[in-house]
Amino acid sequence: MSFCFNFDVSATTNTDDVQRNASLTDKIDSVAKSVTESGSPAEAVKEAKEHFPPSDPRCLLDDTIYETLTIGTLPPLHFLNETVFEKTVYEREDAENILSRTAEQRSDLISGVYEGGLKVWECTYDLLEVIEREGQTFGGKAVLDLGCGAGLLGILSLKRGAKEVHFQDYNSTVLEQLTVSNVILNCQVDDSDDDDDGQGSPDKEEECKIKPKHSKKDLLLPRCRFFSGDWRTFLVLVSSQDPPLKYDIIMTSETIYNTAYYPALHDTFHKLLAPHGHIYLATKSHYFGVGGGLHLFETFVAERGVFAVNHLWDSEIGLQRHVVVLRFKKESH
């Protein structure tokens, strides 16, 4: 798929609009409100719900082609190649109809309909590099992969010993067909590798075999939960759990492209981060055609006064990309 934000531009904000106003927060709140009132496509309205992996996950991995990503000392991460979806678009169940729509419109993102989760975006790779460099281990942590798409960040934290990992994506199709599949794929491929007797790669049947005992699947999947829906209703859903959920680490990549979503995103960070937790955010400086980006988000965060932002990495060449960490200011837990 080509990289293009196929937005209804009139329904989104741009840098100039926002900067003309004295208060960015007011502007963004009012954008979010007017978006709601006009019912424009930028409105995120998908009701949150929890998804449960199928009892026989083998079917998810039929005819799949996967890639393996290896970064330094990080455990290898396996994920379905995005061409799988392009090739099988009309054979797959897709109640949201996003597979055919994205194929027909040749778009990576249809605001309020499909938020881009079917491919791995480049800032995910940046964040993985930073995690490797920082030596973040995740042992015993409760982790949220927010706007997870393929879920590589959450899968890494699982493999590095997270106590539990919740995956959230706007689209249920993404969660059911890609995120859950990738978690299962990682169990199975790793299991196959462990069992490899040096006679070459196991055939596909072997790879997909669900091992009843001692499988890594048994170690990974029970530590996962999967949620679809927009951030507002996701926040309501997880806040109503007893006891309410809090995460030690929230990871999010390429999720600040649309300023209309900033209030919901910030509230989600604020309500769901544990007092001494931190948020890894990987992003581009600016998202052309949409208007969001790091500068606008940092200004928004500064106006809210809840989090301090520190830069962990800034790219020096090409389109500027960044990895930042957010922590509560001392007085605002």
Ligand X SMILES: C[S@@+](CC[C@H](N)C(=O)[O-])C[C@H]1O[C@@H](n2cnc3c(N)ncnc32)[C@H](O)[C@@H]1O
Binding site for ligand X (CB under 6 A): 44, 115-117, 120-121, 123-124, 147-150, 169-170, 230-231, 253-255, 261, 264
Give whole-number Cα distances, 223 to 3, 66, 161, 176, 327, in Å: 33, 23, 10, 17, 25
Q: Report which residue's Cβ sits closest to ligand X.
A: 147
Q: Six-digit token pair at 190?
A: 């790793």
Smallest gap from Cβ 164 to ligand X, in A, equals 19
Q: Residue 48 or residue 142: which is nearer to ligand X going by CB?
A: 48
Contact 256, 268 (CB under 8 A): no
Q: Residue 149 or residue 202: which is nearer to ligand X going by CB?
A: 149
Smallest gap from Cβ 145 to ligand X, in A, equals 8
Contact 233, 172 (CB under 8 A): no
Q: Please report the beta strands in 41-158, taking only residues with DSSP state E, as ranges in sequence order.
A: 49-51, 66-69, 77-80, 142-146
Q: Six-digit token pair at 8?
A: 């209804």
What residue spans of 214-330 are helical by DSSP H? 216-220, 231-239, 262-272, 294-304
Contact 192, 206 (CB under 8 A): yes
Smallest gap from Cβ 209 to ligand X, in A, equals 29
CA dihedral in degrees (70, 170, 64, 163; nearest 10)? 50
Q: Residue 13 or residue 124: which is nearer to ligand X going by CB?
A: 124
Q: Residue 154 or residue 202: which is nearer to ligand X going by CB?
A: 154
Smallest gap from Cβ 88 to ligand X, in A, equals 20
Smallest gap from Cβ 320 to ligand X, in A, equals 16
CA distance 217 to 185: 9
Q: Residue 179 or residue 207: which is nearer to ligand X going by CB?
A: 179
Q: Residue 79 or residue 202: which is nearer to ligand X going by CB?
A: 79
Smallest gap from Cβ 66 to ligand X, in A, equals 16
The string of DSSP codes covering 144-168 is EEET-TT-HHHHHHHHTT-SEEEEE
Smallest gap from Cβ 102 to ligand X, in A, equals 12
Q: Residue 7 or residue 261: which is nearer to ligand X going by CB?
A: 261
Strand partners, 145: 167, 251
CA distance 148 to 110: 17
